């Protein structure tokens, strides 16, 4: 009986360690083990993965279709003996622990790449790769949406013009301490293309590099470097990551070859980049005493291979990374391994001419856990009508099975997207066909225009001249021309479809604030999304990629998703009062907040005041979740609702007007009662206006100077008492 109890305890503890802690473990993310505790946790969780698999097999043998819950598992285990499988599992775990404790050398801790199924080691030295392949330039990128990676690729490609050989590198894949060895390579140069993410944070793939810069004391003397940053001025911490990298690398001894470049995505980041890189290459030529090799020749990065008789099981059909991953789903689910959820509800929330969707996604049996305030990422599909139109414009057979293979055999990136696949699949799932194309795309496809005027115009827009930049801004950007529109308006332009697929950016996941609480909806995730639809100056109707696709979905349809953790959290103590400011779909996370507080209230917990400021155009057309909010008010969960309907009266009324009218209430909650303030919605205007009002309240009611009030708000932010979930 004791063995059975031990068996049950080990199964339950280790299985749930993997299941509940997947956001901390995130197989595939762990790179290094720098201490006994971390490796021991890895061994425990690996054992848990094995044991949970064993449990599943036992259940399968008993004709069960799910992993057992606690009660049924206890009943099942009480009928089992400590069998051969269990012995093997325990022996494996004990052997691993003994090896770790007694036989390994203390400092021989390898770098691991962890996937759901296996562990492999990899060469983490970019220096070795640079030396063995004769490269003297390396371009690192910190990218969240793919733009920084795209810019890095363009810089590496242009290095050929100057007789330099470059490689593009993800800092997450390499040991960044090797930066100290770069000066060993003659005429070497390191370029950093760094995006800033969230509240001034590094992107996910630059986290370890950022930590090394903060804590490391490496000697970067003799390291030639330059930095280009990607940011957005609507956010407070504009380009803070690039600014920090530029400053810190210099502090460690690096030699700046050219000044820091700052790109603003709220304006025209493409223009910022091409202006910076033209001057940057001039500085490189001067620094290294080199000259351009002549005319800028377009070089293909990938070569086309058409497959004639490839089995269907070998062809990607939209999977993000692993072939057939949508048919054989395996947790944990993340950026490279999304879960194929099922739509259970898709209903309209607006009654007017505009559209807002309430969508519920089933996550039962996925092991996905989420917290109130988290984000869900959705991989959208391009409009099939647009894909067919693009195929006709390019005279392409969309059912052709092909691969694009990197001509650089030493590159870690073998394909621009999962290959082999069909042209149709690539256009539907892998490339962005509706965004405004960047200038390098226009430059490369210009060679395929048979009309000289069209060719001249495309080439002009790709230059850094004032005339070219103005033409690009007016003809492409302001007119919202996608690659489809450009091909329609320039009939002589017929680039090969494979070259165009090489140039177009990857289709990125879209993030939405989750509008539900797991306390009430443990097996589903809710999102609230307004359909993006507008007419361009060229009289074309354009729809948002994600919302346009979501609008077409019906119950039973599949959606690839994963959850991204957020710091947008309710107070840990329910009695603390909160103020929620969320006009429009900014209400989404607060619906989850109210669901959670309602649940806590029904459990008998003391719940503090919950005050909501909401705004929309008309109360009869777009008052989101009106009935639900009334229920929350009636039960006492929602203490007070302040609603502003901007077009229900002659003079516009916004949430900011209501905030100004209730300054004393706001101060009572966050100033006197130490409550929390949450802001969700538009970053460009609303969030900034709210910040100004909060600053005024602290000055007026807190009797502080402007500097003291700003310091007070900074402290609130550091304590997570003033949080924003905003977008531009």
Same domain, 151 and 201: yes
The predicted pLDDT at position 706 comes to 96
* 655 among annotated binding-site residues: yes
Residue 452 has pLDDT above 50, yes or no: yes
- Residue ending a domain, choose from 288, 309, 341: 288
Q: What is the mean pLDDT of residues 394-405?
A: 98
Q: What is the mean pLDDT of residues 618-646?
A: 97
- Residue ending a domain, choose from 288, 311, 340: 288
The burial class, CB within 10 Å (0-12 / 13-18 / 19+), for 74 is middle
Residue 100 has pLDDT above 60, yes or no: no
* 652 among annotated binding-site residues: yes
* 534 among annotated binding-site residues: yes
Establish how many alpha carbons lie within 13 A of residue 712's alpha carbon, considering only the half-sphere containing its beta carbon: 21
Same domain, 660 and 513: no
The burial class, CB within 10 Å (0-12 / 13-18 / 19+), for 27 is buried
What is the bridge-based pairing of β-strands 255-256 and 224-231?
parallel
Same domain, 487 and 587: no
- In this structure, what CATH number is given to the domain that contains residue 264? 3.40.50.360
Please state, in angstroms and rounded to a whole number, the distance separating the CA atoms of residues 277 and 637. Answer: 55
Same domain, 278 and 158: yes
Establish how many alpha carbons lie within 13 A of residue 12's alpha carbon, considering only the half-sphere containing its beta carbon: 14
Closest C-alpha to 681, from 585, 578, 567: 585
* 116 is a domain residue: no
What is the bridge-based pairing of β-strands 578-581 and 610-616?
parallel
Same domain, 595 and 630: yes
Beta bridge partners of residue 189, listed in sequence order: 137
The predicted pLDDT at position 114 comes to 28
Q: Which of 60-64, 217-221, 592-596, 717-721 has the lowest mean pLDDT?
A: 60-64
Please state, in angstroms and rounded to a whole number, the distance separating the CA atoms of residues 546 and 385. Answer: 15
Confirm if 585 and 528 have CB atoms less than 8 A apart. yes
Please state, in angstroms and rounded to a whole number, the distance separating the CA atoms of residues 565 and 376. Answer: 9
Q: Which of 35-44, 619-628, 717-726 has the lowest mean pLDDT?
A: 35-44
Closest C-alpha to 56, from 66, 45, 41: 66
* 544 among annotated binding-site residues: yes
Same domain, 555 and 622: no
> For the chain, how many structural domains are there in total?
4
Cα-to-chain-centroid distance, residue 249:
26
CB-based burial, 149-161: b 16+ in 10 Å, e otherwise:
bbbbbbbbbbbeb
Please state, in angstroms and rounded to a whole number, the distance separating the CA atoms of residues 484 and 489. Answer: 9
482-535 tens-digit pLDDT: 999 999 999 999 999 999 999 999 999 999 999 999 999 999 999 999 999 999
* 701 among annotated binding-site residues: no
The predicted pLDDT at position 653 comes to 96
- In this structure, what CATH number is given to the domain that contains residue 386? 1.20.990.10
Confidence of residue 53 (pLDDT cuts 50, 70, 90): very low
Residue 13 has pLDDT above 90, yes or no: no
Q: Measure Cα distances from 60 to 65, 72, 292, 550 in Å.
A: 6, 14, 66, 36
269-278 tens-digit pLDDT: 999 999 999 9
Same domain, 343 and 225: no
* 119 is a domain residue: no
* 319 is a domain residue: no
Same domain, 273 and 367: no
* 232 among annotated binding-site residues: yes
* 326 among annotated binding-site residues: no
Confirm if 624 and 658 have CB atoms less than 8 A apart. no
Same domain, 343 and 205: no
- Give the residue numbers annotated as catalytic, written as ranges: 513, 680, 725, 727
Residue 34 has pLDDT above 50, yes or no: no
- In this structure, what CATH number is given to the domain that contains residue 351? 2.40.30.10
Establish how many alpha carbons lie within 13 A of residue 383's alpha carbon, considering only the half-sphere containing its beta carbon: 17
* 196 among annotated binding-site residues: yes
* 513 among annotated binding-site residues: yes
* 598 among annotated binding-site residues: no
Q: Measure Cα distances from 274 to 228, 360, 466 in Å.
A: 11, 43, 12
* 121 among annotated binding-site residues: no
Q: What is the mean pLDDT of residues 216-224?
A: 91
The predicted pLDDT at position 684 comes to 86
For the chain, the average pLDDT equals 86
Confidence of residue 198 (pLDDT cuts 50, 70, 90): confident
Structural domain including 166 reads 126-288
Q: Which of 102-116, 175-189, 345-359 has the lowest mean pLDDT?
A: 102-116
* 2 is a domain residue: no
Please state, in angstroms and rounded to a whole number, the distance separating the CA atoms of residues 373 and 384. Answer: 33
DSSP letters, 286-347, are: HHHT----SS-----SEEEEEESS--GGGS-SS-SSSTTTTTS--S--BTTB-EEEEEEEEE
* 236 among annotated binding-site residues: yes
The predicted pLDDT at position 95 comes to 59
Residue 199 has pLDDT above 60, yes or no: yes
Confirm if 619 and 643 have CB atoms less than 8 A apart. yes
Q: Between these two residues, 728 and 376, which has the higher pLDDT value?
A: 376
* 689 among annotated binding-site residues: yes
- In this structure, what CATH number is given to the domain that contains residue 667? 3.40.50.80
Same domain, 474 and 522: no
Same domain, 337 and 283: no
The predicted pLDDT at position 106 comes to 32
8-state DSSP, 670: I
As a whole-number percent, the residues of the chain with pLDDT over 70 amount to: 82
* 322 is a domain residue: no
The predicted pLDDT at position 45 comes to 40
> Within 10 A of 549 (CB to CB), how many other CB atoms are there?
21
* 10 is a domain residue: no
Please state, in angstroms and rounded to a whole number, the distance separating the CA atoms of residues 38 and 655. Answer: 48
Confidence of residue 410 (pLDDT cuts 50, 70, 90): confident
717-726 tens-digit pLDDT: 999 999 999 9
Confidence of residue 123 (pLDDT cuts 50, 70, 90): low
The burial class, CB within 10 Å (0-12 / 13-18 / 19+), for 570 is buried
Confirm if 176 and 138 have CB atoms less than 8 A apart. no
* 17 is a domain residue: no
Confidence of residue 304 (pLDDT cuts 50, 70, 90): very high
Confidence of residue 103 (pLDDT cuts 50, 70, 90): very low
Q: Measure Cα distances from 297 to 88, 279, 438, 561 in Å.
A: 61, 19, 18, 40
SS3 514: coil
Residue 23 has pLDDT above 60, yes or no: no
* 442 is a domain residue: yes
Closest C-alpha to 669, from 703, 640, 633: 640
Residue 112 has pLDDT above 50, yes or no: no
Same domain, 426 and 550: no
Q: Measure Cα distances from 457 to 394, 425, 439, 540 in Å.
A: 20, 31, 12, 22
Closest C-alpha to 559, from 595, 537, 529: 529
Residue 475 has pLDDT above 60, yes or no: yes
Q: Which of 260-269, 396-405, 593-602 has the lowest mean pLDDT?
A: 260-269
């Amino acid at each position: 009986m004791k063995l059975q109890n031990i068996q049950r305890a080990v199964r339950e503890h280790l299985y749930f360690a993997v299941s509940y802690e997947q956001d901390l473990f995130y197989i595939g993310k762990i790179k290094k083990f720098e201490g006994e505790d971390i490796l021991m946790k890895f061994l425990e969780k690996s054992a848990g993965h094995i044991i949970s698999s064993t449990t599943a097999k036992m259940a399968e043998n008993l004709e069960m279709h799910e992993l057992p819950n606690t009660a049924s598992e206890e009943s099942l285990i009480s009928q089992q003996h400590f069998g051969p499988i269990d012995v093997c599992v325990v022996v494996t775990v004990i052997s691993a622990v003994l090896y770790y404790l007694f036989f390994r050398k203390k400092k021989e801790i390898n770098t691991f790449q962890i996937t759901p199924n296996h562990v492999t080691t990899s060469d983490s030295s970019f220096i070795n790769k640079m030396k063995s392949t004769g490269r003297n330039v390396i371009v690192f990128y910190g990218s969240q949406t793919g733009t920084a990676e795209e810019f890095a690729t363009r810089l590496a490609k242009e290095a050929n013009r100057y007789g330099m050989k470059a490689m593009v590198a993800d800092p997450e894949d390499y040991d960044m301490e090797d930066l100290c060895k770069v000066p060993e390579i003659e005429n070497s140069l390191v370029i950093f293309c760094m995006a800033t993410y969230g509240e001034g944070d590094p992107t996910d793939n630059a986290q370890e590099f950022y930590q090394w810069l903060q804590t490391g004391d490496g000697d970067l003397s003799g390291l030639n470097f330059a930095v280009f940053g990607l940011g957005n001025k609507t956010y407070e911490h504009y380009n803070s990551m690039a600014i920090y990298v530029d400053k810190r690398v210099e502090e460690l001894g690096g030699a700046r070859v050219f000044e820091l470049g700052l790109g603003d995505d709220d304006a025209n980041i493409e223009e910022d980049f091409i202006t910076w890189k033209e001057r940057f290459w001039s500085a490189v030529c001067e620094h290294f005493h080199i000259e351009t090799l002549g005319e800028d020749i377009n070089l293909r990065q990938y070569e086309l291979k058409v497959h004639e008789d490839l089995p269907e099981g070998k062809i990607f059909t939209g999977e993000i990374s692993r072939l057939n991953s949508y048919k054989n789903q395996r947790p944990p689910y993340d950026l490279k391994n999304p879960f194929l959820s099922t739509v259970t509800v898709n209903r309209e929330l607006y009654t007017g001419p505009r559209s807002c969707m309430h969508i519920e996604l089933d996550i039962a049996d996925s092991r996905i856990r989420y917290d109130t305030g988290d984000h869900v990422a959705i991989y959208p599909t391009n409009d099939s009508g647009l894909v067919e139109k693009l195929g006709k414009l390019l005279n392409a057979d969309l059912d052709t099975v092909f691969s694009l293979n990197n001509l650089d055999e030493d590159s870690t990136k073998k394909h621009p997207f999962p290959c082999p696949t069909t042209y149709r699949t690539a256009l539907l799932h892998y490339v962005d066909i509706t965004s405004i194309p960047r200038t390098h795309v226009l430059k490369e496809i210009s060679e395929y225009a048979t009309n000289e005027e069209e060719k001249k115009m495309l080439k002009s827009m790709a230059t850094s001249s004032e005339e070219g930049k103005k033409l690009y801004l007016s003809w492409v950007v302001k007119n919202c021309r996608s690659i489809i529109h450009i091909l329609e308006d320039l009939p002589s332009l017929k680039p090969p479809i494979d070259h165009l697929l090489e140039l177009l950016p990857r289709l990125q996941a879209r993030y939405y604030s989750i509008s539900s609480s797991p306390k009430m909806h443990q097996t589903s995730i809710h999102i609230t999304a307004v359909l993006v639809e507008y007419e361009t100056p060229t009289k074309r109707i354009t729809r948002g990629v994600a919302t346009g696709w979501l609008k077409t979905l019906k119950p039973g349809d599949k959606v690839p998703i994963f959850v991204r953790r957020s710091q947008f959290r309710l107070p840990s103590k329910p009695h603390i009062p909160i103020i929620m400011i969320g006009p429009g779909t900014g209400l989404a996370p607060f619906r989850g907040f109210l669901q959670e507080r309602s649940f806590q209230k029904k459990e008998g917990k003391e719940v503090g005041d919950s005050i909501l400021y909401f705004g929309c155009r008309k109360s009869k057309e777009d008052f989101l979740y009106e009935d639900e909010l009334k229920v929350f008010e009636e039960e006492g969960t929602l203490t007070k609702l302040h609603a502003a309907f901007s077009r229900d009266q002659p003079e516009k009324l916004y949430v900011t007007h209501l905030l100004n009218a209730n300054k004393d209430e706001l101060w009572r909650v966050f100033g006197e009662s130490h409550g929390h303030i949450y802001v969700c919605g538009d970053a460009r205007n609303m969030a900034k206006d709210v910040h100004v009002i909060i600053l005024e309240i602290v000055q007026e009611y807190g009797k502080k100077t402007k500097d003291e009030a700003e310091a007070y708000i900074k402290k609130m932010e550091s304590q997570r008492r003033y949080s924003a979930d905003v977008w531009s």
